[in-house]
Amino acid sequence: MSEAHVPSGPRYAMSDSAHAYDRSLPSSLLEVRGLKTHFKTPRGVVRAVDGVDLTLQRGRSLGIVGESGSGKTILSRSIMGLLPRRNTLREGEVLFEGHRLDRLSGKEMRSYWGREMAMIFQDPMSSLNPLMKIGAQIAEPLKVHLDMDAKTAKSTAERLLREVRIPEAARRLEQYPHEMSGGMRQRVMIAIALACGPTLLFADEPTTALDVTVQAQILDLIGEERRERNMSVILVTHDLGVVAGRTDEIAVMYGGKLVEKAPTATLFANMRMPYTEALFESIPKLEEPSHSRLRTIPGRPPDLVNPPRGCPFAPRCVYARDRCYEEPPPLVPAGTPDHVYACWYPVGSPEYHERRKELGKEDLVTVTLAEVS
């Protein structure tokens, strides 16, 4: 597959027999195998993504959850080929509809960006051009990727704005980003991302900068568009609450690795990785009375220049034992379908129960004053 593949989704071309095989195969839309993304820095090599495997079917949604510095954003950018080439080492395979994307040049990737995969970023203000009218910014990908003329692009832009539920779409086209609220800007970002009808949408913390009420609206909008367009969505977030009701599957990342992956309902019913449990228990819950102590995760994510030898979470894990510091745990099946986790003493194991009994609730919630550095 050395030549550039020109996407031929049903929206763009009549089914061309040469490409018919992509559509007929029941294979996954996206397959990531052993993906590594390392950066050369003056401090040493940062192992931002260190061997990740993922599969995503068409029309499905996947949540990637982790703290800042877990590698979740780099993973999504690496899949999409958005990282600078200089000083970046990328290994492993990224297959999109069976085609190897990891071997394509930046120029060849362009035929995928917008038309096949698009991304919504966290901060809608800094992702929009402050000097361009909204309409022109939505029309741009339509002209570049779909060769639309200015007039068609403008009317399509208006339709897209209506689709993302922006009232008075025609008037909004003539406005600049600063004339809109944060929620409206994020809707514009979604309109731009959806403009060329991508089959895979990355949403990287799309609602972190927004109010809860607007967050709910934006997440619902992404969900509706996914169902209507049979699009796949990868939702990247630090908040397990955000992905709980909105994704089919969840992958938890830590220290550049996947540490647990399961269908959403399975994960919440039966989380095995102590990191997942700690993330879950640190969320303030409405059912709990006020002033309930929250579970905290002491310390910080590992330094990815010198990752720990064993399990990356061991230094912060309250259940860690000697083995955890020595041997990195592999991803193992949890018994239920599609559920894998990487832990020697998972939640529910005898060792876990033993340690949990030893620890008072206080040990789980105390702010450790000594920083893990």
Which residues in this chain contact another protein in the complex, by CB under 8 A?
A: 67-68, 165-168, 181-184, 211-217, 219-220, 223, 238-242, 244-246, 264-265, 268, 278-280, 282-286, 288-298, 300, 365-371
Nearest alpha carbon to residue 95 among 114, 115, 116: 116
Cβ-based nearer residue to another protein, 32 or 271: 271
Cβ-based nearer residue to another protein, 120 or 297: 297
CB of 169 to another protein, least distance (A): 11
Cβ-based nearer residue to another protein, 129 or 292: 292
CB of 28 to another protein, least distance (A): 22
Do 344 and 321 touch, CB atoms closer than 8 A? yes
Cβ-based nearer residue to another protein, 238 or 356: 238
CB of 229 to another protein, least distance (A): 18
CB of 39 to another protein, least distance (A): 18
CB of 18 to another protein, least distance (A): 41
Q: How far does CA 172 lie from the centroid of its chain?
A: 29
- Cα–Cα distance measured from residue 45 to residue 36, given in angstroms and rounded to the nearest whole number: 12
The dihedral through the CA atoms of 270, 272, 273, 275 has a sign that is: positive
**Alpha helical stretches, state H, 147-181:** 150-163, 169-172
- Cα–Cα distance measured from residue 301 to residue 295, given in angstroms and rounded to the nearest whole number: 16
Cβ-based nearer residue to another protein, 36 or 162: 162
Cβ-based nearer residue to another protein, 220 or 354: 220
Cα dihedral value 282, 286, 288, 292, nearest 10: 50
- Cα–Cα distance measured from residue 71 to residue 4, given in angstroms and rounded to the nearest whole number: 28
CB of 57 to another protein, least distance (A): 18
Cα dihedral value 266, 268, 269, 271, nearest 10: 90
